[in-house]
Structures are given as C-alpha cells and as structure tokens.
A and B are shown apart, each in its own frame.
Chain A
Amino acid sequence: MLAACTRVGANSGSLVVVDDAGDTVRLAHPAHRVVSLIPATTEILFAIGDGPVVVGRTHWCDYPAEAAQVTDVGDGISPNLEAVLAQKPDLVVMYRSGSNAAAAAQLRKLGVPALQFSVDRLVDVPRVARALGSVTNRQASADSLTAVFIRRLNEVSVTDSSPPRILIVSWDQPPMAIGAGSFLSEMVTRAGGSNIFQDLKAPSAQVSIEAIVERNPDALLVSSDGPPSIASRPEWRTVPAVREQRFIHVTSSAFSRPSPRAPEAIQELVARFRELRP
C-alpha cells in the first residue's frame, strides 16, 4: 500500500492522507509537532529538515545526534499514550502493527492524527519520505532526498559474477537467519553478495543449523543487534566460516533499519566483501 496524500480543494491548508494500514487521516494544517515512534522516520524527518518539528521520539531513535535532544517518550511498539500526548503533538507516526492499530485509533479519537507506516524495505525510505514531506510541508526537501537516495542507491550497487555467499545472522540460540523479506537482505544483494537464505520469504526465521552447514556461507554478517558471541557455541563450529572466524561485524545503526544512510551502509558492505576475496 502506498501512502497517498492529496490536497483538498479550496481550503489549501488541509490534507488527507491514507497510511499503510489503509486508514484515511485528515490534517487541518501541515504538522509542526510530530511524535515519531519509528527510528527510521525520526531519521527521515531530520534528514528532510524537519528536525525542529520532532517533539517526541522513541528510546531507540539514535540518529542523528540531534535526536538525543528530543524528548524520549518510551517504546515504539504499544506506545505509552500518556507520554506521547504530553508532548501535545499534531501528528503521531508509528510502525504498522496490530498493537499499534489500537493506539492509532485511540489517538484519532482524541483528535490527534496518527499514521502507521511499514518501514521494512529499502523502497519504503523514499515512499515514507515523500509522505512525511507532504504532511509537514517540506515536499521539496523530501523530493530532493528521495532523488538523491535513489541515485546513490544505484551508484553504490554492484553486481558480482561470483557473489560471496553470506549468512545474515539474526540470533544464535536458536539459530535465526535474515530472509529475503528484510532490507538487510536487499542491502547484501546490492552490495554484490548473496543471502544464502534468499528462499526464505520472511524477514527472519529460525533455521536448522544443518541447513547453514549445507549452504556453507563464505562469511557471517552480524549487526549490533545480533548475538554477542557465536564462535564459542559448539554446534556453530560445524560451520566452516565460524571455525575460520570469517565474520563481518557491522556496528552502525544504518544496519538496524532502512534509512537514508543505506547507500553508505551498502558501500561499507562492498568494501568488506572485497576483503573476503583471496
């Protein structure tokens, strides 16, 4: 579903938006007090110059550094509505999920427009940027960000005739891998690598360690959200890449969510993949 946004008629200040949950939300005027409950949207808002209008963020919104100045209203999933409302927002942006649907409905009943977005894939970044730009009256900035993003994305993407086979590790006990449904998988592919669990449609799933051994990845990609120590588990040592310590550790939060920094993250991956070659 695309977020569609139209200006309505003579009253040029009001906006109608359809969010990713299919709900139609009406805003009387462009938002200037936004509570962003998704780290990705916080980043995007700052990136399109809307930093000043962000009055609330989640605990996990750690980029950019200026976001630290914004009031932390707690968790993004099943949000603390009191904390959110204490910031007197005129727009609340939250991640699309079952528990958030109830929160969104409640906010709308209290007169606060609430939008749900699914931010899971790289393609969501320009889409959400445009939606946010239109509700905060920064369409030009959003369009420019989008254009740059798409251009950079194509610039950094490489193809490789023999791509390194990568296991993107989500967790170790039990073994969980990132599948094709996640932006991380897309980033790996654009960086010239190949996700050994491309056939898993879900963003992540518990996998059999035997399958990992059989598919024999060239390296393991571990983000900062991942497990602290895989190498010491005896059953993981049956994987040759673990035995030989072929890990790619990435620490940037650009690997934790789809964000405008994705092109830079992909560049980093490209460099790390090159190091893998003998």
Chain B
Amino acid sequence: MLLAAACLLAGMLAGAVPLTPAALWRGVVDPSAPSAEIIRNLRLPRVFLAFLVGGSLGVCGAALQALVRNPLAEPYLLGLSGGAGLGAVVAIGLKMASSWAVPIAAFGGALAAVALVYRLSQVEGRRLDPRVLLLAGVVVGAFATALMSAIIVLSDAVQLRNVFLWLLGGLSRSSWESLGIFLLYSIIPLGLLFLSARSLDLLVLGEETAHHLGSNVERTRVIIYLATALLTAAGVATCGIIGFVGLVVPHAVRRVWGPLHRTMLPFTFLVSGCFLVLADAVARTVVRPAELPVGVVTALIGVPVFALLLRRTLA
C-alpha cells in the first residue's frame, strides 16, 4: 500500500512540467499558485486514472488467465482491441463532431467484438468453452483489425492515420470527467471480479474439477467474461490500448504472493496500477516536451520482465 502511495506521488511529480513536492502541495491547495492549473486539472486526474485503469487491466488479465486456463491470456484477448479500433475508425471516418464520439464508438465496437466471440464460443450448447474462446477471440480481433485497415486504406481522410495514434493514445486524454466516468463505471465489474476470487481458484482447476468442488461453472464463466469485457472495453475507450499490463503483472504477482486469487487479485490491482502510473510518468518525461505513447513504454518494460519471468519459471 505504501508502495502504491509512493508511485502515485512519483507520478504526480514527474511530467512535462517538473514539480517539487512543495510546489505540488501548493498547487493542490492554492488555486492561484503557478502550475496549479496543470496540477489540479491535468496531472492529478491523469495519475489517478492511470492507477485505476492499470489496476483494472491487471485484474482483468488475471481473471481471463483463469477463465481460459492459459497464462498467456491478456485483456484484449477477446477481440477487444480489433473491435475498438474498428469503432474508432468508423467514428473518425464519419467525422463525428462530438469529442465523446470516438470513445463511445470504440466502446461499442469493443462490445460488439465481445458479443461475437461469445456467440462463436458456444459449443454443443455449452457457452464459453475455453478452448474455443481463445481461438474465437484471436479470430474476431484479427477480422476487425483487417476491416479497420481496409477502411483506413480505402478512405481519404487524413485523420484516419491518427486512429492508430488514438488507439495507442494513452492517458493524454485524462480529465476529471473521464476519471469520474470510468470510476463510476468500473465499480460493479471490479466488485464482481473481486468477489469471484474463490470461483477463479476453482475455475483454474478445470471445468470438471471445479464442478466437483461445487462451482457453477457456466454461471461463473459468464460473469467473469462479462465483467472483464465491460471493464476492458471501458479502458480502451478511455485510454486506448495499453498492452502488457494485464499480461505480465499477474504473473509477477503470482510468483510473489501465490496463485490464490483472494490475495492475488488485490495485489494485482495495486501493482498494475503502480506500473501504469510509472510507465506513464516515463512516457511523459523521457522525450519532454513530446510524449511517447504509453503502450510503447509498457511494452518496452513488459517484454524483458516477461522474458525474465519465463526463464525463472522454466528453470
């Protein structure tokens, strides 16, 4: 917990406009202080949003890894990234004036992809068969991405090249409004996921064993699926696609705190929240005054960490 607070603070201090803790404090309490505008309306919501979205992505990743019994699962597995991209492209292509148009369209696109994957993974009357779920997610995601690329190539709006930038976009869109919306929205799915901790322990054992140990496997699967889908779709709509957080952090947390979800999920939330805060801080400071897309930073950090984890596990 202390670590989380420290990371949040670090995130708040770093940025295009470097701040000392004293300046930070003054900016928070005194509206007329220099840089107060930046601190209060940009830096603070951004850091909090990074923590919240990062934490959500981590928890979604952990839950999905249990759902499909595959440690390589990621929140975007369900075809979400492709669907979101497609939605964003359509919104930008139609030149919708409202600035909320793109996030809403991306959200809708992500959900449509998820619904399609759900439909595809109905096997022999049993929903969400994990073997099919993985494949269906990959296929739907690839299809949506292909459609999106086709639209981009065929259309004439220069703005469409910016779709990729939007998708990688990251936290530059943060504001108190987007933080508030995401917070309100994420409470239920996050709550559901945390409450499902024991069910996830059982789900990991395999469908039959979970059944024998008293789990209502189908119902649990549907709940996990819906919760992660909604949460991740909201994440994409708010901050674009940020990879590796949901993939790597659960593994690291499992190694340190064990795989039982009652412990693992809360720690995953904290650690992945911190991870994203720090990654965003790096993205904002390393090429000041320009900014790197935060997805790039998470990948650059995430890949070596993941490789290291793999070697340790296999050794």
Is B162's CB within 8 Å of the partner chain A?
A: yes
A232 CB-CB contact with B under 8 Å: yes
Q: Does A207 contact B (CB under 8 A)?
A: yes
Interface string of B271-307 (1 = CB under 8 A from A): 0000000000000100011111100000000000000
Q: When the two chains form their complex, are residues A174 and B169 in contact, meaning their CB atoms are under 8 A apart?
A: yes
Task: Kindly state the separation between the CA atoms of A210 and B17 in the bound complex, as whole angstroms.
Answer: 7
Q: Which residues of A contact B16 (CB under 8 A)?
A: 207-208, 210-211, 214
A227 to B162, CA, bound (A): 10
List chain A residues, Cβ under 8 A from B166.
Answer: 173-174
Bound state CA distance, A176 and B161, in angstroms? 13
* Residues of the A chain whose Cβ atoms lie less than 8 Å from the Cβ of B165: 171, 173-174, 176, 206
Is B173 an interface residue when CB atoms closer than 8 A count as contact?
yes
| B200 CB to nearest A CB, Å | 35
B99 interface residue (CB < 8 Å to A): yes
Task: Report A103-160 residues with CB < 8 Å from chain B CB.
Answer: none
Interface members, chain A 39-95 (any B CB < 8 Å): 59-60
Q: Which of A26-34, A197-205, A265-273 contacts B (4 or more CB under 8 A)?
A: A197-205
| Inter-chain contacts of A200 with B (CB < 8 A) | 289-290
With CB as the reference atom, state the residue of chain B lying closest to A232. Answer: B99
A22 to B28, alpha carbons, bound, how many Å? 56
Kindly specify which of A5-13, A180-188, A233-241, A244-252 makes contact with the partner chain.
A233-241
Task: Tell me the nearest residue of chain B to A199, going by C-beta.
Answer: B289
Question: What residues on A are CB-neighbors of B284 within 8 Å?
Answer: 208, 210
The segment out of B37-45, B66-74, B184-192 that lies at the interface is B37-45
With A174-B291, A207-B289, A210-B16 in contact, is A232–B98 under 8 Å at CB?
A: yes
Asked whether A235 lies within 8 Å of B174 as measured between CB atoms, the reply is yes
Contact A228 B97 (CB under 8 A): yes
Q: B15 an interface residue at 8 Å Cβ cutoff?
A: yes
Q: Find residues 209-241 in chain A having any chain B CB closer than 8 Å to their own CB.
A: 209-211, 213-215, 225, 227-229, 232-235, 238
**From B169, B173, B289, B291, residue with most partner A Cβ within 10 Å:** B289
Does residue B172 face the partner (Cβ distance < 8 Å to A)?
yes
Residue on A nearest B162 in the bound complex, by CB: A171
Q: Is the CB of B41 within 8 A of A238?
A: yes
A235 to B158, CA, bound (A): 23
Complex-state Cα separation, A234 to B288, whole angstroms:
22
B263 interfacial contact with A, CB 8 Å: no
Interface residues of A (CB under 8 A from B): 59-60, 171-176, 197, 199-200, 202, 205-211, 213-215, 225, 227-229, 232-235, 238
| 10 A-B pairs (CB sep. < 8 Å) | A174-B170, A207-B289, A208-B291, A211-B289, A214-B35, A228-B97, A229-B97, A229-B99, A232-B99, A238-B38
Knowing that A211-B17, A225-B158 touch, tell me 16 more A-B residue pairs with CB under 8 angstroms: A173-B162, A174-B291, A174-B293, A206-B165, A206-B290, A206-B291, A207-B16, A208-B16, A210-B15, A210-B284, A215-B289, A229-B97, A233-B175, A234-B178, A235-B172, A235-B173
